[in-house]
Structure 1
Amino acid sequence: MSLLLKNVHVVDVNSPVHGKQANILIENGKIASLKGRSAKKEIDLKGKFLSCGWFDLSAQFNDPGNEHREDIKSGSAAAQSGGFTDVCMVPSTRPPIESKSDVNYLLRRSGDEVDIHVIAAISEGLEGKNLTEVLDLHDAGAIAFSDGDLPVWNAELLLKALQYTSDIGLPIMQNARDMHISSNTHMHEGRMSTHLGLRGEPSLSEELMIRRDLDILKYSGGSIHFSRISTEKAVGLIKEAKKKGLSVTCDVGIHHLVFTDESVGDFDTNFKSLPPYRTERDRRALIKGVKEGVIEAICSNHRPYDQECKQLEFDLADPGNTSLQTFYSSLLKISKEIPIELLIDRVVNGPRKVLKKELIRIDEGEEAKLTIFDPSQTWVLNDESNRSKSRNSPYWGQEMKGKVLGTINKRSITIE
C-alpha cells in the first residue's frame, strides 16, 4: 500500500528537507519520494511534525518473570504510543537474559510496530561473579551487555568483559553506583532528604564508580557506556575522558532532565526513581551535557511496577516509573532549554551512534522508520489512554501538552 504524508514539517538534521514542509510518499516500507503527489491513502499533517523513528536505550518490559507489570505486547504498545520504533530491553528479568535461548525468546516476540533489541547480562544471574558467554550472546543477536539495574561491582569481571567485547565492538553498559554507599537509600542525599527524614544516596556513589570504570577502561580497551547518569560531576568526568580519547558514551533518563529531589516533597512514590532525582544544579549540568554532546542519548528509563509495589510508605516502595507514553510531553517541558531538533537528535541518532548502528534519515530510498507528533495537542494519561499494564507515572491524571500521533516502522503503519 502507498501512503502520502502531506504538508508535514520535517525534523531531521540529516535530511535534505530538514526544517521544511514536505509530502512524504511511502511505498513498500520505503520512502519513495519527498515530493509525493498522490497515493492510495493520504493524510494531511499540516501543523504536525515528522522525524525518524525514536530509539530507546533502556526500558524494562518485565518479560520473562513479572509479566503482570508489563510484557512484550503491552510494553511495545506503550512504546509505539510514545513514538518509539526501537527499544532496548535491559536484562533485569527473572531469569535474567544470559543465554542464547533467552535472547532468542525476546527477539522472536518482537512485533511489527516496535523492533526489540536485546541487552544481555554481563554476569551470570546478574551476581557480578562469573562472566556470561558474551560471544555466544553476540552471535544470538545481543547488541550490548549490562547487568541491568545493578552495577558491575566486580572490577575484575568488568575488566574481562571489556577485553572480551573489544574485538566485537559492542559496548558494556554500566549503571554506575557503589552498592555499599547506595544501599538502603531512597532519594538523593541533601537538604531535601534531611527535611523529609529519608536516607539519601550521595552523588559520590555514582562518581566513585565512574572514576573506577574509566581507569579500568584506560587499561583494558573496549567501549563503556554509562547508562542513566544523574550528577554534575558524572558529566564532568565523562567529558574529560572523551577529551583523553577513551571510548566512552553515556545517556540520561528523560525524567532526570525534568524533575529534581524537590519533586519528592509530598512523598509521592511515583517520584522514587533509580537513580534518584538530584538537585537543580545537577539537572542543569545534565541539560548542558546534552547540549554539548557529552551526553549522546536520552532514554525513557521505563520501569513499570504494580500498585502493590508503589502504594506503600516511601521508604518501602520500589524505585521506578513508567515514561514511554509521556516521553514527548517531557521533551517539550525542557525544549526552552534545549532546542527541540537537538532533543529529537538525541533520541534518534544518539542511541544508534552508541550502538554503532547505521544512522537513518528521511530521504528517498531510505527505510521508513518514522515518528509523527503534534506539539500543540493536549491529552491525559489515565486508565483509558494508558497502554502499559502499570500506572506508576508521575504524570498520572495530569493534562499533558504534546502528543505522538503515530509511527511507521517499515510496513507497519499505526497512525491515529
Structure 2
Amino acid sequence: MSLLLKNVLVLDTNSPAHQQQANILIEKGLITSLNGKSAKKEIDLKGHQLSCGWFDLNANFNDPGNEHREDIESGIKVAQSGGFTDVCLTPDTSPPIESKSDVNYLIRKGNNAVELYVSAAISEGLNGEGLTEILDLNDAGAVSFSDGDKPIWNAELLLKALQYTKNLNTPVIQNAREVNISRNTHMHEGRMSTNLGLRGEPSLSEELIIQRDIEILRYSGGHLHFSRVSSAKGVDLIKRAKKEGLYITCDVAIHHLIFTDDSIGEFDTNFKSLPPYRTEKDRKALIKGLKEDVIDAICSNHRPLDQESKQLEFDLAEPGNISLQTFLPALLSVSKEISLDILIDKVVNGPRSILNLQPASIDVGQEAKLTIFDPKAKWTLNDSTNISKSRNSPFWNKEVEGKVAGTVNRSYFKINK
C-alpha cells in the first residue's frame, strides 16, 4: 500500500527537503518522492514535524524474568509511542542474554513497529569472570557486548573482549563505575547528599574506570563505547582519547541532560537513577559534549520498575526510570540549549554509527523509517496515558510539551491517538 504524508516539516540535515514542508510518498517500504501527489492512504500532517526514525541504544524490557515490570510486547508499544523505530536491548535480564538462543528469542520478539537489536552479555552470568561465546553470539545477531548496568570491573576480561571483538565490527560497551567506590551509594556525592544524609557516589567512580579502560584500549585496539557518561571530567577524558585517534564512542542518558542532584530534594525515588544525576556543572559539560560531538548519541536508559521497588525510603529504592514515552518532551526541553538538529542526529544516526549500521535519511530511495511529532502538543503522563507496565517516571502527573504523532517503519505505520 502507498502512503502519503502531506504538508509535514522535514528535520533531517542529510535530506534535500531539510527545513521544508514536503509530501513524503512511501511505496513498498521505500521513500519514492519528496513531493508526492497522491496515494492510497493520505495523511495531512500540517503543524507536525518529521525526522528519521529514532534509535535507542539502551533500554531494558525485563524480558525474560521480570515481565510484570515490562515485557517485549509492552516495551515495543511504549517505544513506538515515544517515537522509536529501533531499540537495542540490554542483556541484564533474568536469566541474562548470554546464549545464541537468548539472542534469537529477543530478535524474534520484534515486530513491524519496532526492530529489536540485542546487546549480549560479555561475561557469563554478568559476574565479570568468564567470557561468553562472543563469536557465536555475534553470529546469532548480537550487535554489541556489555554487562548492562553492571560495570566490567575485571580488567583482564575487558582486554580479552576488546581483542575478540576487534574484527567483528561490534563495540564493547562499558558502564563506567568503580564497583568498590560506588557500592551502597544512592546519589551523587556532594553538597546535596550531605544535606540529605545519603551516601553519595563521587564522580571519581566513573573517571577512574574511564581512565583505566582508555589505557586498556590503547594496548588492545578495538571499539570501546562508554554508556551513559555523567561527569564533566569523564567527558574531558573521552575527548582527549578521541583526539589521539582511539576508537572510542559514548552516549548520555536523556534525563542527565535535564536533572541534577538538586532534583532529589524531595526524596522522590523517581529521581534515583543509574548513574546518579550529578551537578549543574556536570550537566552543562554533557551539553557541551554533545555540541562538540564528543558525545555520539543520546539514549533513553529506560528502566521499568514495580512500585514495590520504588515506594520505599530513598536509600532502599532501586535506581531507574521509565523514559521512552516522554523522550520527546525531554528532548525538546534540552533544545533550549542545543539545536534540535543536533539532538535529533544524536538519536537517529549517532546510535546507528556506533553499531556500524547504515545511516538513515529522508530522501528518495531510502528506507521509510520515520518519526512524526507535534512539538507544541501538551499532555500529562498518568494512569490514563501511560503505556508502560511501570510508572517510575520523574514526569509522573506532570504536564509536558511535545507528543509523538506516529511512526513509519518500512511498510508499517501507526498514527497515535
Fold equivalence (TM over 0.5): yes
- Aligned residue number for residue 363 of structure 2: 363
Correspondence list, 1:229-378, <5 A: 229-378=229-378
Deviation at 1:46, TM superposition (A): 1.2
Q: Distance between the aligned counterparts of 1:365 and 1:165, measured in 2? A: 33
Identity of aligned residues (%): 70
Which amino acid in the other structure matches residue 225 of structure 1? H
Deviation at 1:43, TM superposition (A): 1.1
Which amino acid in the other structure matches residue 407 of structure 1? T
- Aligned residue number for residue 171 of structure 1: 171
Q: Distance between the aligned counterparts of 1:116 and 1:45, measured in 2? A: 28
Q: Which runs of 4+ in 1 moved over 3 A?
A: none
Which amino acid in the other structure matches residue 272 of structure 2? K
Cα shift readout 1:368-401 (whole Å, capped 9, x = no counterpart) = 0000011110011111111110000000111110
Gaps in structure 2 of 5+ consecutive residues: none
- Name the SS for the 2:239 alignment partner: helix
Deviation at 1:47, TM superposition (A): 1.5
TM-score normalised per structure 2: 0.99
Which amino acid in the other structure matches residue 194 of structure 1? T
Cα shift readout 1:164-190 (whole Å, capped 9, x = no counterpart) = 000111100000000000000000000
- Name the SS for the 1:294 alignment partner: coil
Cα shift readout 1:137-192 (whole Å, capped 9, x = no counterpart) = 00000000000000000000000000000011110000000000000000000000
Deviation at 1:360, TM superposition (A): 1.2
- Residue 390 of structure 1 pairs with residue 390 of structure 2: yes
Deviation at 1:92, TM superposition (A): 0.6
- Aligned residue number for residue 30 of structure 1: 30
Which amino acid in the other structure matches residue 411 of structure 2? R
- Aligned residue number for residue 380 of structure 1: 380
Correspondence list, 1:112-191, <5 A: 112-191=112-191
* Number of residue-to-residue matches in the alignment: 416
Q: Compare 269-278 and 20-29 and name the one that shifted more.
A: 20-29
Deviation at 1:2, TM superposition (A): 1.2
Which amino acid in the other structure matches residue 411 of structure 1? S
- Name the SS for the 2:150 alignment partner: coil
Q: Distance between the aligned counterparts of 2:74 and 2:99, measured in 1? A: 24
Q: Distance between the aligned counterparts of 1:263 and 1:378, measured in 2? A: 22
- Name the SS for the 1:400 alignment partner: strand
Q: Distance between the aligned counterparts of 1:365 and 1:229, measured in 2? A: 36
- Aligned residue number for residue 228 of structure 2: 228
Which amino acid in the other structure matches residue 188 of structure 2? H
Which amino acid in the other structure matches residue 58 of structure 2? S
Which amino acid in the other structure matches residue 238 of structure 2? I
Which amino acid in the other structure matches residue 250 of structure 1? C
Which amino acid in the other structure matches residue 65 of structure 1? G
Q: Distance between the aligned counterparts of 1:55 and 1:343, measured in 2? A: 12
Deviation at 1:262, TM superposition (A): 0.2
Q: Distance between the aligned counterparts of 1:76 and 1:381, measured in 2? A: 18
- Name the SS for the 1:222 alignment partner: coil
Deviation at 1:365, TM superposition (A): 1.3
Gaps in structure 1 of 5+ consecutive residues: none
Q: Compare 249-258 and 330-339 and name the one that shifted more.
A: 330-339
Which amino acid in the other structure matches residue 319 of structure 1? P
- Aligned residue number for residue 89 of structure 2: 89
Correspondence list, 1:71-86, <5 A: 71-86=71-86
- Aligned residue number for residue 6 of structure 1: 6
Q: Distance between the aligned counterparts of 2:335 and 2:222, measured in 1? A: 34
Cα shift readout 1:34-55 (whole Å, capped 9, x = no counterpart) = 1101111111111210000000
- Aligned residue number for residue 101 of structure 1: 101
Deviation at 1:32, TM superposition (A): 1.3
Which amino acid in the other structure matches residue 6 of structure 1? K
Cα shift readout 1:337-384 (whole Å, capped 9, x = no counterpart) = 001111000000100111111101101111100000111100111111
- Aligned residue number for residue 42 of structure 1: 42
- Name the SS for the 1:397 alignment partner: coil
Q: Distance between the aligned counterparts of 1:87 and 1:33, measured in 2? A: 27
Q: Distance between the aligned counterparts of 2:272 and 2:255, measured in 1? A: 11
RMSD: 0.5
- Residue 56 of structure 1 pairs with residue 56 of structure 2: yes
Q: Distance between the aligned counterparts of 1:126 and 1:314, measured in 2? A: 26
- Name the SS for the 1:351 alignment partner: helix
- Name the SS for the 2:110 alignment partner: coil
Deviation at 1:251, TM superposition (A): 0.1
- Name the SS for the 1:87 alignment partner: strand
- Aligned residue number for residue 402 of structure 2: 402
Which amino acid in the other structure matches residue 400 of structure 1? V
- Name the SS for the 2:246 alignment partner: coil
Q: Distance between the aligned counterparts of 2:117 and 2:395, measured in 1? A: 27
Which amino acid in the other structure matches residue 327 of structure 1? F
Q: Compare 187-196 and 13-22 and name the one that shifted more.
A: 13-22
Q: Distance between the aligned counterparts of 2:243 and 2:30, measured in 1? A: 39
- Name the SS for the 1:73 alignment partner: helix
TM-score normalised per structure 1: 0.99
Q: Distance between the aligned counterparts of 2:22 and 2:332, measured in 1? A: 23
Q: Distance between the aligned counterparts of 2:192 and 2:380, measured in 1? A: 29
Deviation at 1:247, TM superposition (A): 0.2
- Name the SS for the 2:104 alignment partner: helix
Q: Distance between the aligned counterparts of 1:169 and 1:343, measured in 2? A: 25
Deviation at 1:29, TM superposition (A): 1.1
